[in-house]
A = this chain, B = another copy of it.
């Protein structure tokens, strides 16, 4: 028994021992309901004792109740070898130089079938093995900055990514890809959009909704879209590369400050808000949609990032019976900025007015966005909007809440006074404001 029976306990462990099988082995399990074949998976530390887990041929895991099991039959030793780095392919020195930075998340990992462990795929050679197409478009350099689930990524991580990316821009890379977990990729894309505003090259965040061990994985196509864009886009700026639809038909390149994860699990979960994607990649070809994207003619060697983020900024969602004492608490706790996620055109109940005035009088920036997500805040339509304007609330037009939060953290982090930060909040730094048009259209119409 090389791999042992990691994670199994109690009578389940006893049963497996008795059957003479090890983790990674191909086994057949007969239960009161069915007979299935699959590889025996290890168990997580906190999993219950009453199930064994098989990985089926189709890539899905199945848990089998130990009391239902009639028989476990060993069929074969694990056939998948431990993951080994292959040889690097021969590279064309004429190809653009692209860096892929790893931060964690599904796209940067591969489930090792033999151990069930997650293996970060982060030498260039390993990426070439899994997605060989990328070698056609670029000479890849890879670097793992950290490897965390994206729900744990915070402003400190943004600062590190921005600093490293700026260094690579000065180091003459043609484009940079940042692999990122999808949970907070929208926030990180906004953060880099501001921190790396005026980047002379394309920076592309990329993630995956399904891990590479699943037959429906979107990892390869999204990565190809990202590398293609980094290598040969005629524009600069910060983008997110994700599936355009649930099919493998195209990858959408979304503007970093206009992107939101709008579904928990679908491959096309990411949507550009109130605009279309900037471009698509189909069969390795880039189709540019937006006509006004930033150009690539700026000098790289002198590029400087503005990558500080103020952490004392809160995003507060309003709802009926919301207690304004929550705002008072933030004021008392030394917050420097608050983004309100109001209703409709940007409203909160009149019970909140005093607390808001108290905050702005103390120099705290209070910005208004809408929980509708689509559309724009307008505080001049109704009395209640004007009531908020007179109390110093900053209407943030069509910037949606998540981007507004990140921008306020950035604006306060890179200025000396609240007044300067407020001025930045109202400037269009990275396409976060969509130009007004007489008819508002959502991309899904």
Q: How far is the CA of A229 from the CA of B225 in the complex (A)?
A: 48
Interface stretch (choices A30-38, A131-139, A149-157, A428-436): A149-157
Q: Mark A259-288, 1 if CB is under 8 A from B, else 0.
A: 001111110010000000000000000000
- Chain B residues with CB under 8 Å of A409's CB are 321
A421 to chain B, nearest CB (A): 17
Q: How far is the CA of A371 from the CA of B373 in the complex (A)?
A: 11
Do residues A151 and B372 form an inter-chain contact, with CB atoms below 8 A?
no
- Chain B residues with CB under 8 Å of A183's CB are 343-345, 347
Do residues A333 and B344 form an inter-chain contact, with CB atoms below 8 A?
no
Q: Does A218 contact B (CB under 8 A)?
A: no
The chain B residue with its CB closest to the CB of A390 is B46
A82 to chain B, nearest CB (A): 22
Do residues B444 and A320 form an inter-chain contact, with CB atoms below 8 A?
no
Do residues A350 and B386 form an inter-chain contact, with CB atoms below 8 A?
no
- Chain B residues with CB under 8 Å of A376's CB are 264-265
8 Å CB contacts to B: which residues of A366-382? 370-378, 382
Q: Does A329 contact B (CB under 8 A)?
A: yes
8 Å CB contacts to B: which residues of A290-320? 309, 311, 314-317, 319-320
Do residues B405 and A319 form an inter-chain contact, with CB atoms below 8 A?
yes
Do residues B158 and A263 form an inter-chain contact, with CB atoms below 8 A?
no
Q: Does A348 contact B (CB under 8 A)?
A: yes
- Chain B residues with CB under 8 Å of A330's CB are 326
Q: How far is the CA of A347 from the CA of B350 in the complex (A)?
A: 32
Q: Does A123 contact B (CB under 8 A)?
A: no
Q: How far is the CA of A319 from the CA of B370 in the complex (A)?
A: 16
Chain A residue total in the interface (Cβ 8 A): 74
Q: How far is the CA of A444 from the CA of B442 in the complex (A)?
A: 12
Known contacts A344-B151, A384-B149, A386-B44; is-contact A440 B266 (Cβ 8 Å): yes
Do residues B320 and A155 form an inter-chain contact, with CB atoms below 8 A?
yes
A262 to chain B, nearest CB (A): 6
Q: Does A87 contact B (CB under 8 A)?
A: no
Q: How far is the CA of A46 from the CA of B184 in the complex (A)?
A: 41
Q: How far is the CA of A264 from the CA of B330 in the complex (A)?
A: 27
Q: Mark A140-160, 1 if CB is under 8 A from B, else 0.
A: 000000000111111111100
Do residues B375 and A265 form an inter-chain contact, with CB atoms below 8 A?
yes
Do residues B315 and A317 form an inter-chain contact, with CB atoms below 8 A?
yes
Q: How far is the CA of A36 from the CA of B154 in the complex (A)?
A: 54
Q: How far is the CA of A378 from the CA of B183 in the complex (A)?
A: 13
A402 to chain B, nearest CB (A): 7
Partner of A263, one of B44, B342, B375, B405: B375
Do residues B263 and A343 form an inter-chain contact, with CB atoms below 8 A?
no
- Chain B residues with CB under 8 Å of A263's CB are 372-375, 440, 442
Q: How far is the CA of A316 from the CA of B317 in the complex (A)?
A: 7
Do residues B154 and A349 form an inter-chain contact, with CB atoms below 8 A?
yes
Do residues A154 and B326 form an inter-chain contact, with CB atoms below 8 A?
no
Q: How far is the CA of A153 from the CA of B349 in the complex (A)?
A: 8
Q: Does A14 contact B (CB under 8 A)?
A: no
Q: Mark A19-48, 1 if CB is under 8 A from B, else 0.
A: 000000000000000000000000010110
A374 to chain B, nearest CB (A): 4
- Chain B residues with CB under 8 Å of A113's CB are none
Do residues B345 and A264 form an inter-chain contact, with CB atoms below 8 A?
yes
Q: Does A187 contact B (CB under 8 A)?
A: yes
Task: Find the residue from A154, A266, A321, A346 having the highest chain B CB count within 10 A.
Answer: A321
A146 to chain B, nearest CB (A): 14
- Chain B residues with CB under 8 Å of A46's CB are 386, 390
Q: How far is the CA of A263 from the CA of B342 in the complex (A)?
A: 12
Known contacts A151-B348, A314-B326; is-contact A187 B319 (Cβ 8 Å): yes
Taking Cβ atoms with an 8 Å cutoff, the residues of A that contact B are 44, 46-47, 149-158, 182-184, 187-188, 191, 261-266, 269, 309, 311, 314-317, 319-321, 323, 325-326, 329-330, 333, 341-351, 370-378, 382-384, 386, 390, 401-402, 405-406, 409, 440, 442, 444
Q: List 15 A-B contacts (CB under 8 A).
A: A44-B386, A151-B349, A152-B349, A153-B320, A184-B320, A191-B320, A261-B343, A263-B374, A263-B442, A264-B376, A264-B378, A265-B440, A266-B374, A329-B329, A444-B444
